[in-house]
Amino acid sequence: MTDDRDFHVRAVAEGGVLGGGGRGKVDGLAKITGRSVFVDDLVLPRMVYAKVLRSPHAHAKILSIDASEALAMPGVLKVMTGEDCTARYGAIPVAQDETALALGKVRYIGEPVVCVAAVDEETARDACRRVRVVYEPLDAILSIDDALSADKPFIHEWARKPSNILRKVDQEYGDVDAAFAASDLVLEGTYDYPGSTHVPLETHAALAVPHADGRLTLWSSTQNPHYMHRTIARVLGMRPGDVRVIKPDIGAGYGGKCDTFCTDVCSAWLARALDRPVKFVFEREEVFYAHRGRHRTKMWLKMGMTKEGRVTGIDFKAWAEGGAYASYGVVTSFYLGVFMTMPYKVENYRFQSHRVYTNHPPCGPKRGHGAIQPRFALELHLDRMCEALGLDPVQVRLDNLIEAGHETVNGLLVPSIALSECIERVVQASDYRAKKGSLPPGRGIGLACSAYMCGALHAVYDNDLPHSGVQLKCDRSGRVTIFSGTADCGQGSNHMLAVFVAERLGIDPTDCTVVEADTDLTPVDLGSYSSRVTFMAGNAALQAADRLRSQIASALAAKFKVPVESLVFAGREVRGAWRPIPWLEAVDIAEGHHGTLGSVGSYKPPKIGSRLKRTSVGPSPAYSFTAQVAEVTVDQVSGVVTVDKMWAAHDLGRVLHREIAEGQIEGCVYMGVGEALLEEQAYRKDGVHMTPSILEYRIPTVYDTPEIQVLLVESHDPGGPFGAKEAGEGPQLSTVPAIGNALHDAIGRWLTNPPYTPEKVWKAIKGR
């Protein structure tokens, strides 16, 4: 294991482009000068605007819609209802349950019902208010218990066997009961993890443009241009080749922009109906209804341990409240359990989950999708068992760790892991051992670990095609253009692509232009979800760069009569001939030798893991690991919790760019602190959102954010590009349980239901 600081120094000394080192990122200058172009910044001739009217009912039949008054208003061009576009779609092929606008009935308060196109936004908004919709309210399903009850109506009727349970998963590996019988301690506990939402600062936006030849361009603030492309073509009944999806700069997503939204479908439908460009941008409040955030999850966990601290078996049940549509919920139902068999060795594991429908805004993938909730339960539970057995939480974690090459009982093969180093480094940096149990009253320290994936082995629709494609163009100008279907959401994937290509060709990342996320121009990439981009698109970029390098090398070898192997690409030149050949000249020679230069690369995950059949959701080509320590102070009078500092050590395989990697981890910890202390997507008893604004929902400001110390740990994954793994999602998993464990150290109570609001903490202190 290399120390990351040495690595950084070495990378810089070698003149390589890996490491970062205060050089920014390729699209950084546009961002800091406000020149990045987001959907809402685009204006086109003849462009009109769309707005929607939303449902005031949690569950109701739509009896009639009368838009005559709206249509009579000057400036109103078109009114669209659910009947205009009836094709059902959804993120996952087995659960296509959405339409762009409610069709026949509404399923949550805030669901889009009618869409109006008008000459400006204000007119469209006013016109929406003048549409008369008559509803017949239905009994609403507003909790997990409601959804499991037999006497409630069904929210959806499309399935062969209608049910308010979208998916139930049952899995068992090994012999859990025998394992418990052989344990010195078997502990049961329940946990209730809250729902929360992404709040990307840019609201969802789309701009659809019809063309003279009948084609359509859709600019969308999407994380997944490829899936969006398929959905839009299918829903509008167009040939995929006639639809072009472009993702411009987006104001982040964190999973919240993975789905297709009414902004996309309505703008596209209206653009074709009106033959004019249509822009549709959500207002802030609407983002809370579009949601797709964290599922509120109730959990029951039973775990066995020997008196030496070895984990013998886990029995785990989870009930996830999913809201009114499936979104990625089928996948969530698996993610809730699949990663419980790492990073600690668990040979006996039983798992059951229910992902249910309720009449709330739909849940979906939020950073750490489905894995956040069970990780919280497991890490708190582990500390509780350590306490009961009088064991050291650090040692117990270290003793149970899996090793590189381990295949979990549910079929996940782990090629690399440096978690023991992560644990040692956070424990040391935070002085955990000295502080644990010895801080003054009201102060505490806690540790937690986690594991996450680097992309899924399977696409959301079954196919045998590459998951990532990269194409390179290079000519006598010396510039290398990288075409890739990836979607940079701010995580820095554009820069990563440039780093991979530049490092291989011996040039600088700023010598590359990245053209991304345009389905007419860029090869398919599945998108920014499941932390797949660095790993998968990175490998594709390396393959393309290697092929381009071979072309150039073979031309130079022929001209200078040297073996290809002797040529070294570095410092904007090619060395190894009798004189160094400047990059420009090298490209010139290669273009003359071969004709036009270009290359492609692709990545398809290997079929790994011998028990693959058992778990089709969860297997990944590699896994990242994190250890975190939280130090907290609790005001005993008010119950206010302050996180004083967070230490996060993350095994990211290899550091490709220090500041970007640290920034991803800091962003994860930040979001975790929000979920631990402040944030909750909560509803009143009648289904009304309690906090649909940035002020009320309470995302952390600079005042609420602790100091975060990041420690980068490298494990050099054998399949990762330059050994790299993910860094943008996994680190959020251990933040909340680290804070939960610290809270116990501070006040002697296990708080199993974040967010840790003053009220909850105060009640815990008072023993209520």
Partner 1 sequence: MPTEITLRLQINGEQVRRIIPANRSLLDFIREDLRLTGSKHGCDVGDCGACTVLVDGAPQLACITLAAECEGAAIRTIEGVTDGGGLHPIQEALHRHVGAQCGYCTPGIVMAMTSLLEADPHPSDSAINEALGSNICRCTGYTKILAAVREVARPGSPS
Which CB atom, from 36 or from 757, has the smaller least distance to partner 1? 36
212 binds, among ligand FES, partner 1, none (CB under 5 to 8 A by kind): none
Q: Please, what's the b/e burial string for 465-476 (b: 16 or more CB within 10 A of its CB; e: otherwise)?
A: ebbbbbbbbbee
Q: Is 51 helix (H, G, I), strand (E, B) or coil?
A: strand
What is the amino acid identity at position 202? E
Among ligand FES, partner 1, none, what binds residue 1 when CB lies within 5 to 8 Å by partner kind? none
Q: Which is nearer to ligand FES, 251 or 304 (CB)?
A: 251
- Strand pairing report for 641-651 and 707-713: parallel
Q: Which stretch binds partner 1 (CB under 8 A): 247-255, 304-312, 467-475, 621-629?
A: 247-255
Cβ–Cβ < 8 Å for 357, 420? no
Three-state secondary structure string covering 594-655: HCCEEEEEEECCCCCCCCHHHCCCCCCCCEEEEEEEEEEEECCCCCCEEEEEEEEEEECCCC
| Cβ–Cβ under 8 Å, residues 627 and 419 | yes
Closer CB to ligand FES, residue 250 or residue 632? 250
Give the nearer residue to ligand FES in terms of CB position, either 110 or 490. Answer: 490
C-alpha 488/C-alpha 537 separation (Å) is 12
**Rounded-to-integer distance, Cα 372 and Cα 733, Å:** 5
Minimum distance of partner 1 from residue 364's CB (angstroms): 17
Partner that binds at residue 105, options partner 1, ligand FES, none, CB closer than 5 to 8 Å by kind: none
- What distance in Å separates the CA atoms of residue 670 and residue 198, rounded to the nearest whole number? 12
Q: Determine, following the binding rule CB under 8 A, whether residue 35 of this chain makes contact with partner 1.
A: yes
Q: How far is the CB of 252 from partner 1 (least distance, A)?
A: 4
Cα–Cα dist 683/606, whole Å: 43
Regarding 252 and contact with ligand FES (CB under 6 A), the answer is yes
Helices (H), 365-460: 372-389, 393-400, 419-430, 432-435
Cβ closest to ligand FES, residue 20 vs residue 313 = 20
Comparing CB distances to ligand FES, the nearer of 488 and 508 is: 488
- Rounded Cα–Cα distance for residues 94 and 549 (Å): 43
Find the radius of gyration of the CA atoms of the chain. Answer: 27
Site string for partner 1, 618-657 (x = CB under 8 A): ---------------------------------------x
Residues in binding contact with partner 1, number by CB under 8 A: 58
What residues numbered 3-32 form the site for partner 1, per CB under 8 A?
A: 20, 22-25, 28-32
Residues 166-225 that bind ligand FES (CB under 6 A): 201
Q: How far is the CB of 477 from ligand FES (least distance, A)?
A: 32
Question: Using alpha carbons only, what angle is made at residue 645 by residues 643 and 646, rounded to the nearest 5 degrees?
Answer: 100
Exactly one of 14, 41, 157, 308 binds partner 1 (CB under 8 A); that residue is: 41
- How far, in Å, CA of 744 to CA of 760, rounded? 13
Query: Among 255, 362, 469, 490, which residue interacts with ligand FES (rule: CB under 6 A)?
Result: 490
Closest CA to 341 of 306, 371, 320: 371
Binder of partner 1 out of 701, 766, 767, 768 (CB under 8 A): 701
> Out of 150, 440, 695, 768, which residue is the one contacting partner 1 (CB under 8 A)?
695
Between CA 681 and CA 87 the distance in angstroms is 29
Smallest distance, Å, CB 203 to ligand FES?
10
Rounded least distance, CB 470 to partner 1, Å:
22
Comparison of 365 and 490: residue with beta carbon closer to ligand FES: 490
Using rule CB under 6 A, residue 434 touches ligand FES: no
Region 174-213 residues binding partner 1, contact defined as CB under 8 A: 198-203
Phi, psi of 305 (to 5 degrees): -145, 145
Binding segment for partner 1 among 40-48, 187-195, 326-334, 350-358 (CB under 8 A)?
A: 40-48
* CA atoms of 587 and 585, how far apart (whole Å): 5
Residues that bind partner 1 (CB under 8 A): 20, 22-25, 28-38, 40-41, 43, 198-203, 249-252, 254, 281, 283-284, 489-492, 657, 659-660, 662-663, 666-667, 669-671, 673, 693-695, 699, 701-703, 705, 707-708
Residues that bind ligand FES (CB under 6 A): 201, 252, 490
